[in-house]
Structure 1
Amino acid sequence: MNRLLAFALLVLLAAVAALGVQSWRLSAARNKLDTQQTTIADQRKKLSQKNGQLIALNILTQTSSRAQTQLYAAAEQNSTLLRDRLRTIEELKRENDELRRWADAPLPDAVIRLRQRPALTGGESYREWLSQNHPVPPGTGRPAQ
């Protein structure tokens, strides 16, 4: 009986030890699971933020692309208008000798002086140039032929 009692006590001790080991393993697994769930939640939050940034970037890219297309269309239209204007001027010059002489004549000195200015490298230099006294010399009173 003592032997049976010792054996039962030994089996009970082994069961308690196994239960303790399993409990420890279960606790470690639970801690690991909690850590992984926290990590997943953090990663999900970061992914959501990145997704929002990508959506905003995509919208910005599409808007920029549309604006660029409109600018190219406007530039093409301006180019067409300029070609038409130059063609009209050339046709008028061919038709009218007086207009041809006027168009081929050099600009008067007063107009050339009006158009001359230093190289401006920004708003500040332009304001400085404007604030300086730049009188326009008086003309002869009649336009140059």
Structure 2
Amino acid sequence: MTVQEPNVVATPGNEPATPAPRSGQLALTVSRPAEQVVVVGASGEIDMLTAPELRAAVLEHLDANDVLVLDLSEVSFLGSAGLAVLVEASQQGNRRGAGFRVVAVRRAVTRPLVATGLGEVFSVFASVEEALAADASTDAR
């Protein structure tokens, strides 16, 4: 067997080679829908390769007296490195006096939150609108 391109997997027989799935892709958006509110939206996979990028974006926008909403509604995978980013963001939010809210709707995100018990630690919402409408008492504990 010979491999011609690093992203192509050779298959036995006459079957055509198929591109290997690309992992570690993450897209981030940042918006300010209101004064003292920042929404960081993530789409793609949050794993050990992409978690540092998410961490940098979240910590950069986690300012005192602000509310940071981390929108994970378009995330297709949330690994342990991503969970660690959420824990750190929550702790930093508490230290800085900032609110931290998480939007999670897909099973790929809600399942690890529930399995680890972190769904009880963060303020988790079904939409950005719900997170923005929540009163200050639901901010990071």
Which is strand-richer, 1 or 2? Answer: 2
Which is helix-richer, 1 or 2? Answer: 1
State the TM-score, normalized to the length of structure 1: 0.23
Higher relative contact order (CA 8 A, sep 6+): 2
State the TM-score, normalized to the length of structure 2: 0.24
